[in-house]
Amino acid sequence: MTKNKMCEGRICAVTGAGRGIGREYALLLAAEGAKVVVNDFGGARDGSAGGGSNPAQDVVDEIKAAGGEAVAHLGDASSYADAQAMVKLAIDTFGGIDVVVNNAGILRDRMLFSMSEEEWDAVIKVHLKGTWASSRVVAEYWRNRAKEGLKNDGRIINTTSVSGLYGNPGQSNYGAAKAGIATFTLIAAEELARYGVTCNAVAPGALTRLTEDLGLPPEMLERFGPEWVAPVIAWLASSQSADVTGQVIESNGSLLGIAQGWIRGPHVTNPPLDPHEMDAVIRGLLAKATPRTKMSDIN
């Protein structure tokens, strides 16, 4: 029996979709019936110029060859003007936009004491500002539609990381950006619910250009292909997920789970004013607290 295409007619834009995990997102969304704007600047994994390559168009050609609909956008995901152009391209080409997947990212790994200002700024700009830019543009579009009495079934799907959720040495820039994206997701979910829009984040575990240096053992490699993460994106992009918002989902070929962020743990009411009493009180609370998940705990 032929399965219904879960994203039939949905109009989706995916940033950083020319290679790796973003490419898998775009291909699966198209295979499930979506019309896709494939965004990719064409740069190297550190964000430098990519030597004139056009991976976005390559993905578009692949989608079209399989009978799907897609268009390439070569803008910089961290540019507000380019984000405006990407959303406009979706509207002009396909008649609207239903889904934005913020996936574009770079790495500039360095220990804190060695990290340059440029390495910090570049990573924060692409990941955190890039997520804000397209979200800001599409949120205004959906809000204006709602004010006109039109119904939205909108989705913002952000990319966080276990590095941002649990902390990974050598990635203070990347981890801070990804943690910021997780919190950004929670706030955007609250703000946009009234307009028929959900906002969720995915923390993918996948081997791409950004993770090729990890040196995972062979038995893990087959479970860390980007194709294992794409099904979660397709589901979030579909109408099936309309009642799910403000969630952070961990996804790889070995694990699918809900990440639980800041929750109030052990506490006291009417805390002491005397600083000399703080040591005993705080240590008592720490003894009752659940130890945080660390990167070394991840399977």
> Among all residues, which ones are annotated catalytic?
174
Q: Is the separation of the CB atoms in 223 and 252 below 8 Å?
A: yes
Burial label, 17 (beta-carbon count in 10 A; 0-12, 13-18, 19+): buried
| Alpha carbon distance 165, 204 (integer Å) | 12
For the residues of 158-172, what is the DSSP string, one character each? EE--HHHHH--TTBH
| Alpha carbon distance 32, 14 (integer Å) | 15
Question: By three-state DSSP, how is residue 137 classified?
Answer: helix
Question: What amino acid occupies position 172?
Answer: S
E strand or H helix at 279: helix 278-288
Reference 22, options 40, 5, 44; nearest CA is 40
- Two structure tokens written together for 65: 């060859």
| Alpha carbon distance 172, 178 (integer Å) | 10
Question: By three-state DSSP, how is residue 247 classified?
Answer: coil
Reference 59, options 97, 99, 6, 12; nearest CA is 12
| Alpha carbon distance 20, 26 (integer Å) | 10
| Alpha carbon distance 24, 28 (integer Å) | 6
- 66 phi/psi in degrees, rounded to 5: -90, 5
Q: How many CA atoms lie within 13 A of 15 on its CB side?
A: 33
- Two structure tokens written together for 59: 């993905």
